[in-house]
Amino acid sequence: AQTVTQSQPEMSVQEAETVTLSCTYDTSESNYYLFWYKQPPSRQMILVIRQEAYKQQNATENRFSVNFQKAAKSFSLKISDSQLGDTAMYFCAFMKPFGQNFVFGPGTRLSVLP
């Protein structure tokens, strides 16, 4: 069974700074998909970014980018120019191809400080 680990329960960053959230996973699959979701205090689950394991290029969405290290089974999220609205829980998720089911990590609570 796949497992997803987020080793940082809480983090903080100053506004406009850069922060990196870590995620590691365990799988025997060669192809799979990885996601980062953001959960602000409103409780919504918002997709931030996704990465296909067969793609070597790291995904980027505006201020959000990932560092995908397949051999190390690592999928970290970098947030550049942090904004107060980035304050949220961040969840890393793993999906097998055609499996549809996600396996989520325990989350990292990020606080952006003014």
Partner 1 sequence: DAGITQSPRYKITETGRQVTLMCHQTWSHSYMFWYRQDLGHGLRLIYYSAAADITDKGEVPDGYVVSRSKTENFPLTLESATRSQTSVYFCASSEPGSSQPQHFGDGTRLSIL
* Burial category of 73 from C-beta neighbours within 10 Å (exposed 0-12, middle 13-18, buried 19 and up): middle
Q: Which of 7, 18, 44, 60 binds partner 1 (CB under 8 A)?
A: 44
Q: Which is nearer to partner 1, 41 or 114 (CB)?
A: 41
Phi-psi region of 85 (alpha: psi -120 to 50; beta: other; left: phi over 0): alpha
The size of the interface with partner 1 (CB under 8 A), counted in residues, is 23
Any contact of residue 19 with partner 1 (CB under 8 A)?
no
Binding residues for partner 1 restricted to 55-114, rule: CB under 8 A: 91, 95, 97-98, 100-102, 104-107
Among 22, 27, 50, 73, binds partner 1 (CB under 8 A): 50
Tokens of residue 109, six digits: 């609570």
* Binding test (CB under 8 A) with partner 1, winner from 24, 52, 70, 78: 52
Which of 92, 94, 95 has its CA nearest to residue 105? Answer: 92
